[in-house]
Structure 1
Amino acid sequence: SEARILELHSPDAVHSCVLRACDPSEAAAWFNTLHSALAVLTTAALHEASRAIPDLRHIGWLLRRPRLENNMSSSESSEDMDRWHSIFAAVTDSELRLYESAPWSGEAWRAPAEAYPLIATRLVGSGKRTELPEFSIRCATSEGVITHNLRAETHRDLAAWAKALVNGSHASAVTQRELVCRCLWKGRPSQLVIHYENGFTLLEAGTGSRTLWRYPFDRLRNSSDDGKRILYLDFGGEDNEVELDMEGCPKPIVFILHNFLSAKIHRL
């Protein structure tokens, strides 16, 4: 049965080995021993890699379910979409980086297959099958939201990844401090400033930069978007409902705003 099977994969993702134990208990013993040894080696590898990439904070292997974007192509069956694939992941001070295999050089560390700013990334919890160490990450981009469905080896590993991602997004929010983006308010070219301490300020576009309105964070009652261009901010009362045309996908702004708020709450 599958409970007796162990799979070992090489760091370059080229070679693999399938082992079968006599019974599930022996397989579990081998898994725990191998996992503990690999955890020690991963910690050592993190320290070694930090010499080339000083801002590395967490590294390791994860399983990822293929992303379903729009509709599946004709070559993708439902079985293919349910198959998990190994990826190597790293959390730096500012990014979540995904690699097809473990990086072997400083150049490889700096060239991930995918990279997402932590400040526009949200951890949304584990999957429906809570007995498995699964979790999802939503990354806001200029094209919309990309969701990664991931699985760690153990629940302890999942907790470590969650801590690294949440702490990283909060630290990024504190470091960035301010988000400035152009927009249209009531058809008027404007500039929205979201400051980690001072809240929201809308400035008139141009050299004068006249302040059109200002609200602290504690006035915000709700925020939402239409997924296309419009950002909605409700500061309480009909006269304080703001609609902004961000002239592009508003998702990154919404995610950054939520990470600002989350970091401020976590600081309390």
Structure 2
Amino acid sequence: LGPGASSPPAAAPRSPPRADTRYIPLQLTHLARNLKYHDAENRCIELHSPDGIHSCILRAVDPQEATTWFNALHSAIGKSTQKALLDANRALVAIIGELKFIGWLSRRCSGEPNGRSSSESSDELDKWQSIFVAVTDREFRLYESAPWSVEAWSRPFECCPLVTTRLAGAGNTSTVGSNSSAQSSIFCVRCGTTRGVLSHWLRSETNRDMAAWARVLVQGCHTAIITQREFSFRCLYQGRPCQLIVHLDRGFTLLDSSLVGSGAPITKALWSFPFDKLKGSADDGNKLLFLDFAGGLEDGSGGAEIELDMECCPKPVVFVLHNCLSAKVHSLA
């Protein structure tokens, strides 16, 4: 987990190796049930190596014994994961930020490029894949396998700022599939990007794990918003190039940026509204953002309904807005 590391550290057994014994390191191993091996009797436990290549399937005499072994392994892996997080932070804080939470989850496979649910059969809806997830102080990161080097930590296959990430809620039979045996441990994370909304249906192995992930995500999004406080987005307003400023305390301000080329400072505010004047917002999912404010504009032009051309998908603005409002409400609780 440190600089120069390229593979998982070898686990040295306390006793001499035996031909009839197999040693399985538990650090960052994915412990799961009903992931790659269908187990209708709930007697099996799956252990998948950190690199995702090797697997070990254990079958107990009955479901009770399987649960006992699962809980013991879950506790041991949880402790080793916390140690791995501390070790990784010593090498990574200056590179990707501080790791707040790491671990394995299962992600529902989807043929949709944006991760949205489609009219797939229930068999398709029940297909899951292992992903390693990390929440830093700034980002939500997804990896195909557990990173074992600084270079690997720097190359997630999906990365989204927490300020444009939202916990959307738990799954149900209409969205996740009626055959799932762990619906109570399923949750959805949505990321607003310039490509649209990326939806990740994720499954933890226990309700307690799901609660921990939910808490880290919600608190992380709020903390990221409070830390940055101000967010700027390029846009067009009535054909004029502008900057939309969303500020945690001051609300919305639209600045005229048409004078940027002349070297003049951007000081002219076309309009400004606090959050409590916002009556509603909408977007077309393509590039247009609609804001409806109470009171209208001071110069009387355009009324209270404002249309902004964000020149790309407006979802990042929408998610920042929702997280700002959520953080403000949470601070009052």
Give me the TM-score of the superposition, normalised by structure 1: 0.93
CA RMSD of aligned residues (A): 1.9
Structure 1 counterpart SS, 2:170: coil
1:232 match: 290
Comparing 233-242 and 48-57, the one that deviates more: 233-242
Q: Offset of 1:188 from its aligned partner?
A: 2.5
1:172 match: 224
1:255 match: 319
**Equivalent-residue separation in structure 2 for 1:225 and 1:242 (angstroms):** 11
Given residue 83 of structure 2, which amino acid in structure 1 is its aligned partner? A
Task: Please state if 1:69 is matched with 2:133.
Answer: no
2:276 match: 218
* CA contact 1:3–1:27 (8 Å) conserved in 2: yes
Q: Offset of 1:132 from its aligned partner?
A: 2.7
Comparing 149-158 and 234-243, the one that deviates more: 234-243
* CA contact 2:171–2:183 (8 Å) conserved in 1: no
Task: Please state if 1:10 is matched with 2:10.
Answer: no
Given residue 171 of structure 1, which amino acid in structure 2 is its aligned partner? T
**What are the residue-to-residue correspondences of 1:134-173 with 2, within 5 Å?**
134-173=186-225
- The counterpart of 2:103, out of the listed 48, 52, 60, is 60
Structure 2 counterpart SS, 1:124: strand
Given residue 240 of structure 2, which amino acid in structure 1 is its aligned partner? R
**Equivalent-residue separation in structure 1 for 2:155 and 2:242 (angstroms):** 36
* CA contact 1:67–1:148 (8 Å) conserved in 2: no
**What are the residue-to-residue correspondences of 1:170-209 with 2, within 5 Å?**
170-205=222-257, 206=259, 207=264, 209=267
Q: Offset of 1:50 from its aligned partner?
A: 1.0
Structure 2 counterpart SS, 1:52: helix
Structure 2 counterpart SS, 1:224: strand
Q: Offset of 1:71 from its aligned partner?
A: 11
Q: Offset of 1:67 from its aligned partner?
A: 2.8
* CA contact 1:200–1:215 (8 Å) conserved in 2: yes
The number of residue pairs the alignment matches comes to 264
Q: Offset of 1:29 from its aligned partner?
A: 0.8
Structure 1 counterpart SS, 2:270: strand
Tell me the alpha carbon deviations over residues 129-177 of structure 1, each in whole angstroms, 9 at most, x when there is no partner.
5853000011111110110010011111001111111111111111221
2:7 match: none
Question: Which has the greater radius of gyration?
Answer: 2
Give me the TM-score of the superposition, normalised by structure 2: 0.75
Given residue 30 of structure 1, which amino acid in structure 2 is its aligned partner? W
Q: Offset of 1:240 from its aligned partner?
A: 1.2
**Equivalent-residue separation in structure 1 for 2:281 and 2:159 (angstroms):** 26
Would you tell me which structure has more strand in proportion to its own residues? Answer: 1
* CA contact 2:107–2:130 (8 Å) conserved in 1: yes
Q: Offset of 1:69 from its aligned partner?
A: 1.5
1:28 match: 67
Structure 2 counterpart SS, 1:50: helix
